[in-house]
């Protein structure tokens, strides 16, 4: 269980770093290109629901994934 909790923590930070880099780097530049290979499959289902065109051009999928990860971490911590 502890390994899963730590893996979710690392993933949480990968998403945070990707979100910050999205403000200053193009998607094809390193290290963002590498991070996108990890994060895009996670964002895809949420982007179908929270389409940036429908949310004023703001991509809320990273926030949704972070909330999901935080909930999973919280549940694991209480087990």
pLDDT tens readout for residues 26-39 = 989 999 999 999 99
Query: CB of 5 within 8 A of CB of 70?
Result: no
Question: What is the tally of structural domains in the chain?
Answer: 1
77 pLDDT tier (thresholds 50, 70, 90)? confident
pLDDT at residue 55, as a whole number: 84
Residues 6 or more apart whose CB falls under 8 angstroms from that of 10 comprise: none
Give residue 40's domain range.
2-78
Q: What percent of the chain shows pLDDT beyond 70?
A: 100
- pLDDT at residue 9 is higher than 90: yes
pLDDT at residue 70, as a whole number: 94
Q: What is the mean pLDDT of the chain?
A: 91
């Amino acid at each position: 269980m502890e390994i899963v909790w730590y893996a979710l923590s690392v993933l949480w930070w990968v998403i945070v770093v990707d979100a910050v880099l999205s403000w200053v780097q193009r998607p094809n530049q390193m290290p963002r290109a590498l991070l996108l290979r990890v994060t895009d499959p996670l964002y895809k289902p949420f982007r179908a629901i929270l389409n940036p065109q429908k949310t004023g051009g703001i991509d809320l999928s990273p926030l949704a994934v972070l909330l999901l990860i935080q909930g999973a971490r919280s549940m694991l911590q209480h087990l």
